[in-house]
Amino acid sequence: MDEILKIEQLKKSFDDLSVLDGIDLSVKKGEVVVIVGPSGCGKSTFLRCLNGLEDIQEGRVSLESEVINPVSKSTVNARKKIGMVFQSYDLFPHKTILQNITLAPMKVHKRKKAEAEGEALQLLERVGLVSKKDNYPRQLSGGQKQRVAIVRALMMHPEVLLFDEVTAALDPEMVREVLEVILSLAKEGRTMLIVTHEMAFAKAVADRIIFMDGGKIIEQGTPDDIFEHPKTERLQSFLKTFTYDR
Amino acid sequence: MMDFEIINSYIPRFLEAFRLTITIGWLGIALAFVVGIVVAFVQHFHVPVLTAIAKVYIELFRNTPLLVQLFFIYFGLPKIGFQISAEVCGVVGLGLLGGSYMAESIRSGLEAIPPSQTESAVSLGMTKPQLFWNVILPQAFTISLPAIMANVIFLLKETSVFSAISLMDLMFTAKDLIGLYYNTTECLFMLVVSYTIMLLPVSLVGRLAEKKVRYRMFGD
């Protein structure tokens, strides 16, 4: 498989606080990489560095041959090929669902309205939300909003999709409807990087799991390696926090 | 009590004054809106040098009475060689006072948009101008609208100090008639009626506009 996203010696700090401390990662086309780790370990910041939302102090992030970070003129262009979905959905509250998902294709890719809406309706159909196309975001549940946010990212035909704790703000019964959509994207062979606290989901969707702590990659491997045969003591104690003993 | 024959005979003069008041009032408000947008944008984009000037302008005009500003423009400017008519003075005075209020109202709307809106638009590949015109500004306008409408009503009422620079507005006309004929009750009644006719529709239209625009983001 071809390498699509390459991260080299990435270092990021907020003033004196080092958040990411020399991360190397290479993602292949079609690979699903899930990033797990304790709160504050830098996994969300890492994801935000990958599309240039955060600037970095050292290292490099590149998508195929284009450099995304350090941020430069080519970042804007490369960014169009990376979709991102956020924990808080961040739909545009003044626009209907259909307008939310066709705005960027029409403005950024200069696509015709009718054509963009055609694809939008197909994708809404797929996530079961066609009937909501003329509603405003405030009229949708969290799970519905998050599915719309995924469709909005898909409309840009991204080569890589980033998911930043997309179910963290949802009620348990809504988590599933969102994760099913992501699972179906994985089956299509899309390249994705997913930050999540849903371990069962991570196990199901991931080709590779990365365990981060203290701004470093501590351990990585297949779901089986990580969950059944954790090597490092830090990963073992992290996994223990998900089980309960009487 | 009140003599309606007298009121009847005053109507032409009050109509005249009414026309002058709303003309200068609305021209001043239009100017205020333009000034407000420019000043708010300058601050929002942190334009060097201009941002500092904008801040000084806002504090200067927000913290001095319109009457004092009018005196400065009407009596002060001719001393340094700028001769302007009372009408222009009224429009400019109202425009500059209103501009400082409008700027603050628009800025508060712009600042109320969470940074996550910018981030999600940027990660969809939008450029800064695309994001500003399509995402930030429409939301900011929605949030600012009630404050903008309050400013409009406030500015229309502020026109009542125009009489001080001998503009024949409603207040001037009422005072003039009272001085001539001592029909105080009738004149004050006409004043109340005139201002109500002028402002009530503005209030109602404002309420409708708010309802229509705000529905999208906030429901009722």
pLDDT by residue for chain A (246 residues), tens only, comes to 589 999 999 999 998 889 999 999 999 999 999 999 998 888 999 999 999 999 999 999 999 888 998 988 888 888 889 999 999 999 999 999 999 999 999 999 999 999 999 999 999 999 999 999 999 999 999 999 999 999 999 999 999 999 999 988 888 888 999 999 999 999 999 999 999 998 989 999 999 999 999 999 999 999 999 999 999 999 999 998 888 877
Strands A17-28 vs A191-195: parallel, antiparallel or unpaired = unpaired
Its pTM stands at 0.88
DSSP per-residue string spanning chain B: ---HHHHHHHHHHHHHHHHHHHHHHHHHHHHHHHHHHHHHHHHHTT-TTHHHHHHHHHHHHHTS-HHHHHHIIIIIHHHTT----HHHHHHHHHHHHHHHHHHHHHHHHHHTS-HHHHHHHHHTT--HHHHIIIIIHHHHHHHHHHHHHHHHHHHHHHGGGGGGGT---HHHHHHHHHHHH--HHHHHHHHHHHHHHHHHHHHHHHHHHHHHHHHHHH--
Task: Using a CB–CB cutoff of 8 Å, tell me whether B112 touches chain A.
Answer: no
Confidence of residue B8 (pLDDT cuts 50, 70, 90): confident
pLDDT given for residue A242 in this prediction: 84
CB–CB contact B125 A156 (8 Å): yes
CB–CB contact B216 A107 (8 Å): no
Smallest Cβ–Cβ distance between A107 and the set B134, B139, B142 belongs to: B134
Give the whole-angstrom CA distance, residue A149 versus residue A156.
12
Q: Are A211 and A223 in contact (CB under 8 A)?
A: no
pLDDT tens, residue by residue, B123-174: 999 999 999 999 999 999 999 999 999 999 999 999 999 988 888 899 999 9
pLDDT given for residue B22 in this prediction: 94
pLDDT given for residue A69 in this prediction: 86
Q: What is the DSSP letter of A164?
A: E
Helix orientation angle between B4-44 and B137-158, rounded to the nearest 10 degrees: 140
Q: Are B61 and B100 in contact (CB under 8 A)?
A: yes
Lookup result for tokens 């071809």:
A2
Confidence of residue B220 (pLDDT cuts 50, 70, 90): low
Hey, what domains does chain B have and what are their CATH numbers?
4-218 (1.10.3720.10)
pLDDT given for residue A63 in this prediction: 92
Is a pLDDT exceeding 70 seen at residue B48? yes
Residues in chain B closer than 8 A to A139 (CB atoms): 219
Task: Using a CB–CB cutoff of 8 Å, tell me whether B129 touches chain A.
Answer: no
Q: Are B2 and B189 in contact (CB under 8 A)?
A: yes
pLDDT given for residue A8 in this prediction: 93
pLDDT given for residue A223 in this prediction: 94
Cβ-based interface (< 8 Å): residues of A facing B:
51, 53, 76, 79-80, 82-84, 86, 88, 90-95, 103-104, 107-108, 136, 138-139, 149, 152-153, 156
What's chain B's average pLDDT?
A: 92
CB–CB contact B120 A156 (8 Å): no
pLDDT tens, residue by residue, B74-97: 998 888 888 889 999 999 999 999
How many percent of chain B have pLDDT more than 90?
77
Task: Using a CB–CB cutoff of 8 Å, tell me whether B48 touches chain A.
Answer: no
pLDDT given for residue A1 in this prediction: 59
Q: Are A75 and B127 in contact (CB under 8 A)?
A: no
Q: Measure B154 CA to nearest chain A CA, in Å.
A: 28
pLDDT given for residue A73 in this prediction: 84
Smallest Cβ–Cβ distance between A156 and the set B124, B130, B134 belongs to: B124
pLDDT given for residue A122 in this prediction: 96
pLDDT tens, residue by residue, B184-216: 899 999 999 999 999 999 999 999 998 888 888
Smallest Cβ–Cβ distance between B119 and the set A76, A80, A90 belongs to: A90
Residues in chain A closer than 8 A to B139 (CB atoms): 92-94
Confidence of residue B120 (pLDDT cuts 50, 70, 90): very high
Task: Using a CB–CB cutoff of 8 Å, tell me whether B217 touches chain A.
Answer: yes
Q: Are A50 and A61 in contact (CB under 8 A)?
A: yes
pLDDT given for residue A2 in this prediction: 86
Give the whole-angstrom CA distance, residue A135 versus residue A94.
10
pLDDT given for residue B60 in this prediction: 94
Confidence of residue B66 (pLDDT cuts 50, 70, 90): very high
Give the whole-angstrom CA distance, residue A100 versus residue A154.
12
SS3 A146: helix
